[in-house]
Structure formats: structure tokens, C-alpha cells
Amino acid sequence: MTLRFGLLGAGRIGKVHAKAISASAGASLVAVADAMAPAAKAIADQYGCEVRSGEAILAAKDIDAVVICTPTDTHADLIEAFAKAGKAIFCEKPIDLSLARVKACLKVVRDTKAVLMVGFNRRFDPHFMAVRAEIDKGTLGAVEMVTITSRDPGAPGLDYIARSGGIFRDMTIHDFDMARFLLGEEVSEVSAMAAVLVDPAIGKAGDSDSVQVMLKTATGKMCLISNSRRATYGYDQRIEVHGSLGAATAENQRPFMIEVASKLGYTRPPLHDFFMTRYTEAYAAEIASFIAAASGKGKVSPSGEDGLAALALAEAALKSVAEGRSVRTSEVL
Amino acid sequence: MTLRFGLLGAGRIGKVHAKAISASAGASLVAVADAMAPAAKAIADQYGCEVRSGEAILAAKDIDAVVICTPTDTHADLIEAFAKAGKAIFCEKPIDLSLARVKACLKVVRDTKAVLMVGFNRRFDPHFMAVRAEIDKGTLGAVEMVTITSRDPGAPGLDYIARSGGIFRDMTIHDFDMARFLLGEEVSEVSAMAAVLVDPAIGKAGDSDSVQVMLKTATGKMCLISNSRRATYGYDQRIEVHGSLGAATAENQRPFMIEVASKLGYTRPPLHDFFMTRYTEAYAAEIASFIAAASGKGKVSPSGEDGLAALALAEAALKSVAEGRSVRTSEVL
Amino acid sequence: MTLRFGLLGAGRIGKVHAKAISASAGASLVAVADAMAPAAKAIADQYGCEVRSGEAILAAKDIDAVVICTPTDTHADLIEAFAKAGKAIFCEKPIDLSLARVKACLKVVRDTKAVLMVGFNRRFDPHFMAVRAEIDKGTLGAVEMVTITSRDPGAPGLDYIARSGGIFRDMTIHDFDMARFLLGEEVSEVSAMAAVLVDPAIGKAGDSDSVQVMLKTATGKMCLISNSRRATYGYDQRIEVHGSLGAATAENQRPFMIEVASKLGYTRPPLHDFFMTRYTEAYAAEIASFIAAASGKGKVSPSGEDGLAALALAEAALKSVAEGRSVRTSEVL
Amino acid sequence: MTLRFGLLGAGRIGKVHAKAISASAGASLVAVADAMAPAAKAIADQYGCEVRSGEAILAAKDIDAVVICTPTDTHADLIEAFAKAGKAIFCEKPIDLSLARVKACLKVVRDTKAVLMVGFNRRFDPHFMAVRAEIDKGTLGAVEMVTITSRDPGAPGLDYIARSGGIFRDMTIHDFDMARFLLGEEVSEVSAMAAVLVDPAIGKAGDSDSVQVMLKTATGKMCLISNSRRATYGYDQRIEVHGSLGAATAENQRPFMIEVASKLGYTRPPLHDFFMTRYTEAYAAEIASFIAAASGKGKVSPSGEDGLAALALAEAALKSVAEGRSVRTSEVL
């Protein structure tokens, strides 16, 4: 059986998913929709699918599943519509910037029993998965302290910042999801600090560009997160898990694994330039996992509830910064 | 313009090339031939091409280029036939185990002005290419001493050994090509030592399983090669170039880049299990380079002459072991 | 000129300093005092110095400087006495567990213009000094985010825990000093979380064994600290500084720098077993720095004020845990 | 019991041994002799020993052992004289540049039953010892292939070159000893290549500056050695042992173990600047081993016979280069 896909949104990340779907054995890309006609046509031409409107995809009999890569403010409406239409849904994070809206949307998903997977791509990175596998195998004993370092090579444009929901909802949200993925327990307490160190314009826009967060679960497991919107050395993405029996780390990735020695020392090249090159394998594995889940061969993970939980941590972090105190997740959920 | 391919040989490496061709923008796989019908059919089914006989591919008007992945003893004949038929040819190494036969074959290639590329895949490994790029940029100054370590995870079957032409022609040949690729000068002198340390049966079959080689060029540039047919820790593939201004190394690759700390120490996973997983990117880049060259957009490299030169070094190494002395390449060419 | 030393306290750390003083060019160890006569005698025998009482050392004309390695609750009294006696003083951290007592003691030091250096040995580790040197050279640009990981191989005995002042004052205090050393700005805000994950007995004793801390300066520079009283893989001591132009890290140290490859992977040995072996070079450099300062050839660093500042951060961290909020250092100082 | 030392030669390496002896528990430095009076006086002043003539040390009743750090051409005569005088002897490598002279000298040592240890300091490097310990523990299975990389940061002066005996006897000799230390079997066959790539003046002086060597034992174990008189990146000293069950490597050492990331990549500092800083710990352990052996508490290793064996490999390497063939060690011994 082949899962027939409609793609909503033909931008940068839409292209990534179009490629992954086309290369997958159990899937075919049937149609693509985008408000920008040339973008949709480019994907249609490259992968031999049709250009259709979103409405046509919603009504189509020959489409089983959709991938939602449209702007964030359309996600919740689209999820509800496609859930009601009985299609399996993969949606890029976040479902929405408002916790209330996300909750309402997830109610529709539950009521319609729709398959909904949220695009936390990092869970599918082979190196991070290998760390998680060590936890699952018991190599590390009880997980106790997680450290997540995540730095972008450079800040996005101010227009993006303006509609991003702020650094916690836009960037740290991936780390919140990773923390939950690794801690194996719900976070009960969040404390955060934020600063503007990279670009004063980001501060003027009401956002921060450098943040650090502490998390804690009910049993005392802890996590540290460090984020910056700028790293001269590339896309810095590391995780570390310390447990009762040992620790595991996933180090940074770079496209060329060489070292050059000279009188200046020993130099390895900078890291990947951003998520498109860093997480190539993760994007492919993510869509493969969705195809399996939508085909009834695996469980849907990360789920809509995972999306909600990560957003709640972002909300708590914002509240912590605003009030200068530790915030319980129960206060925001 | 699309380069239309015929694939000769549907074995392990044939599948690798079939996949690479199918995924390439400027190429299409039209037909596959194999003495084993089910093998050919499997590829035909997976990539939507026809099964044809070798003769039909030779005569076909809708095929511009062939990839030869048949047994070694058929390579030279096939190259000659397809060269005369005016098709571009990619042939897996070696062209033949006999230097004389290779020379005769290359004469036909020259006379017919055929495009012939030989499958030394390692030249296309991104990490090795990055080392070569440092040489070309001048970072290392004059290249002086190259060290190549190449160890297989395990020895092939005795039937393979029997028809392989021996470890120098089968395994070290890749390192001879890499040495030429990195030294940037022809090797003038070869000295080798060989032993049976892994499996006495290999010795009984008249071959060695552990060898080391020294190379030298006319200006004194040098190279060391270390080979073993067995490495418990995976597919060991390293290069190192020392020059007047510095040095560059390409370290081993592993599928999961994590490190686990425990009371036993800090452990990273074993290396890739063999060339199919280690050189995934190299195989894709190799075919892309062939497509470009066959389409007139780049030069053919490695060429048939590169194949001849590497084989001559294998011949000289054998002679060096037999006679316990340093052998000049002019003695065998 | 030779600086003539009296050593107060002949325990584990006293031995370290005795050795360092004896091996120093501009110093000699004249006398040692300890309530435990055999401990004092052992040092006297090994380094050829006299056993004297503390009072005799205080009154001695042939002693210029003292190293205080006695129990913490004697430090402040001894500092005051020796300051009044006009001797240069090196004192192991902390000066006292009470901020008020430290302030009173430092007043005496100021009034007597005594030379007082506090034993934050890590500032003298060559690797950490090299990171600091990169900051000072401007390689990293403006320091923005510091990450300090510090884990002991195992928890101390409960009797030690009981008189230690708690993990923040005993263990994290080193990291607080390192944070100040690297941030280059005073910390204005502290937020901490604490848990008992290693040993419930530590919890029953009113202490924590796993803590994480966030620091922030007035201009927004930030720091993360992660501490555990147990790491199966050895004495885990890492620092990382992220700045506007780049980042610098000092990785863990191990006694044997080898790697063993096998079918299980690539394994490096565990880390140093604890601070005595990890910071061997740092202890020597620390005493050398004190000798220089006491001889008028360098500035006293870390000073008594540095000791006070680090203790204040510990106090703030405790308050943060107790009140579940971010604490300003001005609240405790 | 204290072993009372006389030091012959107060040059660079003499100072290293003077320091090591002075810091050793079971030893004392009684006297130093050097043709250059100020050099001897400097050591005498620093370590509180006497300046004496070589003859006086030979005749002294208060001296049990000597350390010979004089020019190479005096070594054999001094060894014979002190052996006859019944003193334990530590002699810097080589015993002599002539195999015949070494053999004659060792006969005197045997006849007098003198304790003679030769200064192959690298055997005492903690990292190389740790590799050897893995071999001894059986972790690597049967040793099969050894790779030794040894590059000096820069070439010595031409006057040194002139009296050095050539690169094989002066520099590679350390690697020959290391090969024997790691192979655990005598080398039966040597093949070498040599070139002048660093400095033509070295070639004019009749020496080479870049060499590579292959060794083989009777059972087929093999070794590769790569030497250069110049490495811009510091003192390059690596060993690697590949065996039937695994492999072990000792990587390069550097004084500061930090890494700096910037837009140019990730850079670690250059290596140690030369053997004095690289092998600090080895020199101390070497003298400790000699003290133990001379005090009857351990075996003498490396022995005079080890010195002879390494020199024979150098002789064979020279012959191999001259004759362009593999040379059996039995041909030169």
C-alpha cells in the first residue's frame, strides 16, 4: 500500500519534505499547494506531482495524508479541517503560539481520531536517537541531569522574529521537546533567564537572543538549556545525559571530518551551516516514521500532546523571566 | 539533456549505482542486464527500467552510457565493445588483472575516443576530497609524506580471494590510487612486505592478508600503506598527508557519533561495517561526476590510465615481495 | 630572597602544599603544625622541616608566610591572627561558612594590609588558564555564555557533608569562582535548583547532591553550572565560554591518553580519579603565584574578596532554592 | 638505602637527569663533571652537589651509580671504565655509532656483571606504557601491525647532523626501540627509503631528513615507521598497534588541552615543542626505573642489548637504502 500525500506549503521546509516523500518506498507525492504559484510549480515539476489548491487537496479522494508547512498561524485551522476530512496529518511545529488554541485543536484531533504527528525533527537525528537508545538499554542507569546546547549560526530577520512568538516558542521549543525525550518524565518546574546580547534590534522587537533555562521533574531529574541566536562556528547542536551509571553525549556534526595541522595548531572545519544540512537524515527518518504511523505500522510520535507540552514549557519560561521566579508547569497548563 | 543508462551487472555494487543513477537529475536508468535473471528483475522493478540482454544494450539507440559491474574477467571485453559502440563507459575497478590486457583495452578506448571512467570511489569521499582540497589550496605546502591505513572488517570468502588477483590487485589497489591522488606525482619506486596473519587458508590459496607498502616518487615524496583483511573495530579507512607547511588527516567515520562514559571509560561506537555504508556519499558523487563528464561538462577522472597506473603499482608490489627488493615502476610498465 | 613557610594542617591538602613549597625555587618549608602529631611528623621527615605548634609559628621570626589547611571553622581566626602578626597568608577555601564572619575577617586583613590569597586552585589549571588567555586576547570577542560542568567521582562521607556547609558552599563554590574568573563581570542574579539523586542519606543530612545554577550579570552575560556528587567515569571538570566571535572549551583530563578499539567500539580510559591527580599542575602553579605575590612580584589573586564573592553566590543559590525564585546578589551581601 | 649518583655531562639532557635524581626518594646527586666548568657549576649550585672531574667520580667511594650524558663518542669508553669500577651505569643512547664497538663494550659489561641501562626514554612515557599494558593484558590479541609516526619540530644544526651518525642512528633509533618494545618479537627484516625534503644542506652533509621504514619479524608481524626532521605543528609522536582482537593508539600530547571555535573552525593548540617538554614524565620514570634496578629491585630495561638491537636495525636500514633491497638483520649483526 502506498500513502498518497498532499503537501501544503512549498517553501524551504516544504521542499525538504517533498524530497523525502518522493524518495520513500511506501509513499507518493500527489499534489502540492502554495499561495505562491511558482513555488508550488517548482516542486510539482521536480517531483512529478500536480499543483492543486488547499481546498482541492482537502476534498481529494486520491490523497491520504498531508504535510503542513504553511505559516504558523494557519496550522491549527488546517489540522482541524484535515482531521475532519479523515486525512493523516504531519504538521511542522508549532501547532499554534497560543496554548488555548492548541488545546482546542487537539480536542478536534481526539474527537476525530485523526493521526497527527508534530515535526520535532531532532528526535529522528541518528546521533540523538543513539543517545536515547543508550538510555533505553539502561547503560546510563537512571537519567539524572541533561544538558542541551543549541545555538543558531545567525539570527533570523526581524520580520521572522516578529511573528515567531519569541525565542522560547520558536527556538528553545526544540530543546524543550528534546529535554522531554531524554528525561523520560514530565517537567514540573521551569526557571529561565534571557538577555539581548547578539542584536539590540531583537530586544527592541520585544524578544531575547540569548537564553538559559533550568528544568526539573517531580522526582528531581534536571536539565539545563543554553541558546544563542548566533554562533560564528556554525550550527551548534549538542546533548549530554548524565545518569547514575554513566553519561552519553552527542557531539556536533560537520560536513567535512578532517583536521589540518599547522604552526597555528590543529583545525577542524566549522560545523554545518544550519538545520537543512545538519538534519538531512533526521528529516528523512521523520517522514518515514510518519508514513509508518499513518499506515498503521507504528505509533505516532511526537504527537500533538508532545507539541502542547513543549509549548507549555516555553510559556512557563516566559513567565519565569517576567516574574523572576521558578514556574510550575501546572500554572500554565 | 538526460544521460540514458544501461547497467551491466545487478549484484551488490550494481544496486548501488542503480540507486545513484535513479536519484540523479541529469540521468535515467533505461535497462539492466545480468546473467542472473532475478537479480536484474529486482533492479528493474525497483527503479522502473527494463531488463535487457547485454547485446541488446550494446545495440540500443536509447542508451548513451553504461555502468559495468560484471565480474572482472569480462571488464576489458565489455569496455572495448561499448567503446566501439560509441557509448560512455563507467567501469568498476580493475579493468583487468593483466597489465598487458589493460594496455590493449586502453588502446581501443583511445582509438575510439570513448569516455571511460574507472570506479575508484574513494576519490569522491567528501572527507578525502577535503584533504585533497587543502593540498590544492596550498595549506600544506609541498606534499612530502602520505600515510594510508586501510583495513577491512573481515576477509572475503576463499572463492572471492581465488579470483581477486590477490590482495595488492584487489584491496591495496584503492590505496595505490589514493596515493597517486594525494602525492600529485607519479610513483617511481615500490617496496612491499606481505604476511598471512589473519587466516592460514588465505596463505594456502597463495595470497596474503596483511601487507605494508612504501612508495617513492622521483623527487623523493613518499607514502606508507598499511592493509589488513581484518579489523574487529570496523572498516578502517584513514589518510594523512604531511607537507612542508602542515599536515591534514581524514579520520574514520562511524554511523553514530556519540560517546558513552562509564566506569570502563569513554566509548564511541565501532566504525562503519564496510564500504557500502562508509562510502554512500562517495558512490553518489562518483556517478554524478561520470554523468557530468559523459555530458561534456567535466573531465573524466579517474581515467583508464589511472586504472592502469594503480594496477602497475600492485604488480610492482608483488614483484617486490617476491624478490625482496625495491622495484621501479618502469620495470613493470 | 627565600620566602620561609609555616604550614598549618598536615592533612591531604597540606601534603600537596608541602611538596609544592619544597620544590619551589624561591621558598623553603621551615615548620609544620598539626593537632595530629604523627601527621605533622610525616611531613617534617619527608621535607626536612621542624614540627612546631601553631602558636610557635605565629611567634616565629624565621617564618614569613603561612599556608592554612586546617578545618574550615579555624580559618578566619587564623587569618586574623597571622594578619596581625604581619605574615603573608595563603588559606584554603572557604574563609568561613558565614558571610558575616568572612566580612569581619577581611576587615582585619585590610586594616593590617596583610597579603591574603584564597585557594581557588582551578584558576591555576593550565588548560583553564589557556581558555582565560583566549578571552584576554580577544579571540572570543565579548564573553556571553559560560557553561561549567563539575562532577565529583563520588560523594564524601556523611561526616564531611555535615560540616561542609552544604554542596553550594563546599563544591559549587569552585564553579562560582570559575564563573567570575571567566565572565569578567560581577554576577548580579542567581537562580538554582537542587535535588537528592545520588544518596538519600545526603538528603536526610539536609544537603543536596545534584544541583544546577544559572547566573547573570548586570549586562546580561550568563552562566550555567551543573554539579553532581557522583560520576562513574571519573572527575568531570569542563568549562566552555561562548562569545560574540567564537567559543573556547577545556575538555576533561585523563592520566593515560590512549584509545583502544575493539568490536565494542573505541574506548578511552576514565578521567582522573579526583582533584589530587587532576589538579597537580594547578596546585604547583597556585603556590608559585602566592610566593610571587608575597615576595612583591605579582598581585594577590584570588584575593579574600574573591573568596567572599564566591561565598555570596553560594548563599544566594541556597536562598534561590529555598524561595523558588531568582535572587539578586545584593540581597545577600 | 640511597643510591649515590655521579653525573657525567651537564648539558641539556644532563640537567633533566639531575632534576629527576634530586627529586627521587631513593637517590641523591653527589657530584657532576663536565668539560665546561660553568655548566657543571650551574648544576652543582642548583642541586647542592659537588663539581668533580670524571676521574674523581670514577675513583670515588661515595658514588654508586653514574648517568652518562657526554658526547656519543665517549660513551663506550666511559661504560667500560665505570663497569670495571663496579658502578651502576645509565647511559644515554646510543652506546656508540659502530656496531662492533658496541659489541666489544657489552662484552666488558657482561664480564664485569655491571648494571647498564640505555636511555630509550619513550618506553617510560605513561601513554606508550598504557598501550603496552593493553598488549600485555591481551586486549589486542596477537600483535600484527605497528605504525610509528615520529617527526621533529625542526632539524638540528648541521654540526649536530655531522656527528649524529645519520637520521637512522640518531632519530629513527628511538622508533626502532619502540617497534621492538611493541612487537614483542625480534625484527628479522628491514626495508627503508630515504629522501632529502626539508633542507638540501642535510643532503649535502650526506644525511637524509625524511625516511620511512618497514620491519618484519620471523612470524610475519610488521611495523611501519615514518620520520621527518620537520613538522610545523610541533613534536609529532604517535604509536598505533593493530592486533587480532583490536587496536590501541597513543595520540599526540599538547601542553594546553583546549579548543577554540570561530568562523575558521575548531582549533586545538600545536603539540609540545620538543622532547624536553613532551617526555617530562618519561624522564622521571626512566630514572626511577634505573634507581630501582640498580638497587636490585627490578630488572634493567632497556638493557645494553636493547641498545645494540636498535642500532643494528639502523645499520640494516642504511644498507637497505644503499642497496635498494630488503635487508635481514642477521646480515648486519
**pLDDT tens for each residue of A102-147:** 999 999 999 999 999 999 999 999 999 999 999 999 999 999 999 9
What share of chain B in percent tops pLDDT 90? Answer: 95
Strand residues in chain C grouped as ranges (E): 3-8, 27-33, 50-51, 65-68, 88-92, 116-119, 143-151, 187-195, 210-217, 222-228, 236-243, 247-250, 258-262, 265-268, 327-328
For residues D308-313, give the mean pLDDT: 98
Predicted pLDDT at B23: 82
pLDDT exceeds 80 at position A26: yes
The grid coordinates listed for C141 are 570577542
**pTM greater than 0.90:** yes
Chains that touch A (3 or more CB pairs under 8 A): B, C, D
Which residue ranges make up each domain of chain C?
A: 3-114, 123-283+309-332
- Please give the mean pLDDT across all residues of chain B: 96
Length of chain B: 333
Chain C contacts to D (CB-CB under 8 A)? 23, 126-127, 130-131, 134, 139-140, 245-251, 253, 255-263, 269
Q: Report whether D67 contacts D93 (CB < 8 A).
A: no
- A123-332 architecture in CATH? 2-Layer Sandwich (3.30)
Predicted pLDDT at C75: 98
For residues C62-67, give the mean pLDDT: 98
Q: Report whether A216 contacts C195 (CB < 8 A).
A: yes
**Position B24 confidence tier, pLDDT thresholds 50, 70, 90:** confident
Q: Which chain D residue lies closest to B248 (C-alpha atoms)?
A: D233
Residues 6+ apart with CB under 8 A from B20: B283, B284, B286, B287, B288
**Position A88 confidence tier, pLDDT thresholds 50, 70, 90:** very high
Which candidate from D231, D263, D265 shows the least CB-CB separation from A268? D265
Q: Report whether B233 contacts B154 (CB < 8 A).
A: no
Q: Report whether D203 contacts D183 (CB < 8 A).
A: no
- Please give the mean pLDDT across all residues of chain A: 96
Predicted pLDDT at D26: 84
Rounded to whole angstroms, the Cα distance separating C317 from B193 reads: 66
Q: Which chain C residue lies closest to A223 (C-alpha atoms)?
A: C212
The grid coordinates listed for D261 are 571555535
Q: Return the CATH number of the domain spanning residue range D123-283+309-332.
A: 3.30.360.10
Which candidate from B147, B196, B231 shows the least CB-CB separation from D220? B196
Q: What dihedral do alpha carbons B178, B184, B186, B192 form, nearest 10°? A: -40
pLDDT exceeds 90 at position B1: no
Rounded to whole angstroms, the Cα distance separating B233 from C288 reads: 46
C34 Cα to chain A: minimum distance (Å) = 38
Which candidate from C232, C262, C270 shows the least CB-CB separation from B233? C262
- Which position has the grid cell 597506473? B309
**Helix extents (H) in B164-279:** 167, 173-183, 200-204, 275-278
Name the amino acid, one letter, at D76. A
Residues 6+ apart with CB under 8 A from B280: none
**Position B48 confidence tier, pLDDT thresholds 50, 70, 90:** confident
Predicted pLDDT at C294: 95
**Position D23 confidence tier, pLDDT thresholds 50, 70, 90:** confident
Q: Among A240, A237, A171, which residue's Cα sits nearest to residue A202?
A: A171
Which chain A residues touch D233 with a CB distance below 8 Å?
261-263, 265-266
**Position D213 confidence tier, pLDDT thresholds 50, 70, 90:** very high
D130 Cα to chain C: minimum distance (Å) = 7
Predicted pLDDT at D10: 96
For residues B14-26, give the mean pLDDT: 89
For residues B56-62, give the mean pLDDT: 97
Predicted pLDDT at B176: 98
**pLDDT tens for each residue of C253-306:** 999 999 999 999 999 999 999 999 999 999 999 999 999 999 999 899 999 999
Which chain D residues touch C138 with a CB distance below 8 Å?
none
Rounded to whole angstroms, the Cα distance separating D302 from D293 reads: 11
D99 Cα to chain B: minimum distance (Å) = 24
For residues A208-228, give the mean pLDDT: 98
Fold of A3-114: Rossmann fold (3.40.50)
- Please give the mean pLDDT across all residues of chain C: 96
Verify whether the Cβ–Cβ distance D268 to A265 is below 8 Å: yes
A&D contacts, CB < 8 Å:
45
Q: Return the residue in D190, D224, D237, D241 with the most chain B beta carbons within 10 A, the one to mutate for interface testing.
A: D224
Same fold? B3-114, B123-283+309-332: no
B&D contacts, CB < 8 Å:
105
Which chain A residues touch D267 with a CB distance below 8 Å?
264-268
Predicted pLDDT at B206: 97
Verify whether the Cβ–Cβ distance B220 to D195 is below 8 Å: yes
Which chain B residues touch A134 with a CB distance below 8 Å?
258, 260
Predicted pLDDT at A24: 84
Q: How far is CA D189 from CA A262, B322, C14, D5, D213, in A?
A: 35, 14, 56, 40, 10
**Position A46 confidence tier, pLDDT thresholds 50, 70, 90:** confident
B318 Cα to chain D: minimum distance (Å) = 14
pLDDT exceeds 90 at position D48: no
Q: Return the residue in A256, A263, A271 with the most chain B beta carbons within 10 A, the one to mutate for interface testing.
A: A256
Which candidate from A23, A139, A263 shows the least CB-CB separation from B260? A139
Which candidate from C126, C139, C259 shows the least CB-CB separation from D260? C139
pLDDT exceeds 80 at position C1: no
Predicted pLDDT at B234: 98
Give, for A305, the enclosing helix (H) or strand (E). Answer: helix A304-323
For residues C99-112, give the mean pLDDT: 98
**pLDDT tens for each residue of D30-47:** 999 999 999 999 999 988
Reported ipTM: the value is 0.96
For residues C83-107, give the mean pLDDT: 97
Q: What dihedral do alpha carbons D82, D83, D85, D88 form, nearest 10°? A: 80
For residues D108-130, give the mean pLDDT: 98
Which chain A residues touch C234 with a CB distance below 8 Å?
none
For residues C96-121, give the mean pLDDT: 97
Which chain B residues touch A132 with a CB distance below 8 Å?
none
Verify whether the Cβ–Cβ distance C193 to A324 is below 8 Å: no
Length of chain A: 333
Q: Report whether B96 contacts B76 (CB < 8 A).
A: yes
**Position A48 confidence tier, pLDDT thresholds 50, 70, 90:** confident
